[in-house]
Amino acid sequence: MELLNRYQIKNLELKNKIVLPPMDMYSSDDQGYVKNSHLYHYVSRAIGGVGLIIVEATAITLAGRITDNCLGIWSDEHVNSLKEIVDECHQYGAKVGIQINHAGRKCTATSLGTDKIYAPSPLAFNSSYRLPEELAKTEIQSIIKEFGAAAKRADQAGYDLLEIHGAHGYLISEFLSPLTNKRSDEYGGSLENRTRFLKEVLAEVKKNWTEEKPISLRVSAYDYLPEGMQPEDMVKIINQVKGDIDIVHVSSGGVAEAPIKAFPGYQVPLSEVIKKGCDMPTITVGLITESIQVEEILKNKRADLVAIGRGLFRNPYWVNQVAYDNKIDDHEYPEFYQEAYKLRR
Ligand SMILES: Cc1cc2nc3c(=O)[nH]c(=O)nc-3n(C[C@H](O)[C@H](O)[C@H](O)COP(=O)(O)O)c2cc1C
């Protein structure tokens, strides 16, 4: 099966093409450390056969948290805690990435360090969110440094891949989208200016991340509104930064309230647009639950890797189950479960 084939990106070799996308468990406390629940969750998916696990949105600063219960990477003290996930998952052959994030105007945390929230422009997401302050240029520069510091900590913790969260209406995507960026300085206006923050973040990240290890950029390729980001705009943005990233994780929405009609594989066409328009490898995601869907996507080269989110929440052993159902005898089933996978013979 194509989904069980190995995949190499830079120095990272994945044992298969199934990815656990970043999915916030909202299970930490206001200190942002890894809890046992995180370990049980991520390690179960590693035992279940997932090739690449991407740890959830992890905040680069206190005000960069989505909630008070997000994981944090804002201090050196977080390194050992985050390393536990990597070390445990590695034991079962999974490779581990981490998504680093600044929540921008979508910060709903209320504990220490969140008395003010920040965005490119002073516009609230909706009436239940707080009004953000417009970032001054000096504040933009310090957030860029915080992204770099977070990358260094992720590297020190042993992560195999770094994912920059440039999607879903958090800070980077707020700079990219014309719906949320109304600035008149060099960080706003033209598409090139709106890309400047992302470019500077990536430049800082690259200084702090091991050259041989891959960097993924997660994007919202479509805002689902006529005045918002269109997939063709995202192609132009990625083409400006493609020298600094290795793979694009193509998602959509979340930047502004918009009608989204989700159906199985609804984001795959967006992956195709980015893959072709940017000549870059992609990860696709979104209501993909069946191996037959995954095979179709991979064999038609609509994406290079496929992420299964809620499907892997429901069944951490999805990959092993697919191998078993398809009678793949040379699949590496977990040592201690061998007996279960011999039963059909
Ligand atoms: C509970 C939950 C938490 C999520 N957290 C994140 C996150 O931390 N970062 C992110 O980029 N996307 C996040 N997402 C989006 C998922 O990564 C994924 O793109 C989405 O669930 C669609 O894939 P699926 O249909 O396979 O679940 C989250 C989704 C859910 C349901």
Residues 19-45 pLDDT 10s? 999 999 999 999 999 999 999 999 999
pLDDT for position 98: 98
pLDDT at position 329: 86
**Which mutation among 18, 19, 20, 24 tests ligand 1's pocket best, with the greatest number of atoms within 8 A of CB?**
24
Cβ of 287 less than 6 Å from ligand 1: yes
Nearest protein CA to atom 7 of ligand 1, as residue: 23
DSSP result, 258-306 = ------TTTTHHHHHHHHHHHT--EEE-SS---HHHHHHHHHTTS-SEE
Mean pLDDT of all residues in 130-153: 98
Kindly give the number of the ligand 1 atom that is closest to the alpha carbon of 262.
25
Count helices and strands (H / E) in the chain: 11, 13
CA dist., res. 58 & res. 251, Å (int): 18
pLDDT in tens, 165-183: 999 999 999 999 999 999 9
Beta bridge partners of 119: 134
Pocket test for ligand 1, best of 18, 23, 266 (most atoms within 8 A of CB): 23
**Pick from 226, 251, 231: nearest CA to 170:** 251
Mean pLDDT of 333-342: 90
Q: Atom 6, ligand 1: which residue's CA is nearest?
A: 23
CB of 18 within 8 A of CB of 287? no
Distance, in Å, from the CA atom of 141 to the CA atom of 136, rounded to the nearest integer, reads 9
Q: Distance (Å, rounded) from C-alpha 175 to C-alpha 201? A: 12
CB of 285 within 6 A of ligand 1: the answer is: yes
Whole-number pLDDT of residue 342: 80
Q: What CATH number matches the domain at 2-342, 3.40.50.300, 3.40.50.2300, 3.40.1390.10, 3.20.20.70?
A: 3.20.20.70
Instruction: Report the Cα–Cα distance between both ends of the chain, in Å, rounded.
Output: 20
CA of 168 to the centre of ligand 1 (A): 10
Mean pLDDT across 84-101: 98
Q: How far is CA 32 from the centre of its chain?
A: 18
Q: Is the CB of 32 under 6 A from ligand 1?
A: no
